Amino acid sequence: MHSVSKELHGIALPPNPYPTLSDPVSTFLGLPAPLWQSLWLTLRLAAITTVVLGLLGLPLAHWLNTTRQRLAPAIEALVALPVVLPPTVIGFYLLVTFSPNHPPGSWWRALSGAPLAFSFTGLVIASVFYSLPFAVQPFQAALRAVPRELLDAGTALGATPARVFIRLHAPLAWRGIAAGLTLGFAHTLGEFGVVLMIGGSIPGVTKVASIALYDEVQALAYPQAHAFAATLLGLSFMLLLVVTLLQRRRT
């Protein structure tokens, strides 16, 4: 614990940029305003993470499917690591990496003037890393399912590999790509260990839905916790239903 404290020395928690919500604010569906604030923050985090997963994960999935480099199996195993590794382990090493005492955390602080840990930007980076396999693996499966003959026909007509991928390969695999993006979004909604280690519980900044629900249970506010849990349950079920329908249609 002493060594961890030394690593994190110098990290100052950022001020809350959002206005404080007072108790008299009316509730909706049994949820007080602070819980809705946490839910909105989670949806924002999931949306940004999903966009980044699409921009990074789709080219990565295509490269893993087509490359013959010897390092490809190691990189694919590294991408899949969050599937089996405990979230707290990932969160711990990311927290040490984000420390301002050494790179790359010190580089970020020199550029932005703010620490990477206990910030929304840090949450986004951690969420992308933690949710990457849940998007990349469906991407790989969808891209592999496209008949090779169609891609070869595009190449034979004189299209460049990039044009074949953008105009032919990706559109034909759109259902699997959409399923991967939806799964990445849903997985980000349920993050707990990683976001707790990286962001803590700063209202309006890093206090996402899973942390807010945990705090309600710790405070023995079971009616609010039940309403919040039911809201998250319904939202997660709808997202997974979309993934299932997309996969069945693709099959």
Contact (Cβ atoms closer than 8 angstroms) between residue 45 and residue 208: yes
Could you give the CA distance from residue 194 to residue 196 in angstroms, rounded to a whole number?
5
Superfamily of domain 32-250 in the CATH hierarchy = MetI-like (1.10.3720.10)
| Whole-prediction pTM | 0.81
Contacts of residue 78, Cβ cutoff 8 Å, sequence gap at least 6: none
Cβ neighbors of 33 (< 8 A, separation 6 or more) are 21, 22, 25, 26, 27
Q: Is 213 helix (H, G, I), strand (E, B) or coil?
A: helix
d(CA 127, CA 42): 11
Per-residue pLDDT reduced to its tens digit, 32-52:
677 788 889 999 999 999 999
| Identity of the residue numbered 229 | A
Determine the pLDDT at residue 130. 92
pLDDT mean over 147-155: 85
In the predicted structure, residue 20 carries a pLDDT above the cut 50? no
Q: CA-to-CA distance for 127 and 184, rounded, in angstroms?
A: 9
Compute the residue count for the chain: 251
Residues 6 or more apart whose CB falls under 8 angstroms from that of 172 comprise: 146, 150
Q: Judge whether residue 2 has pLDDT over 90.
A: no
Q: The tokens of 235 are what?
A: 């939202």
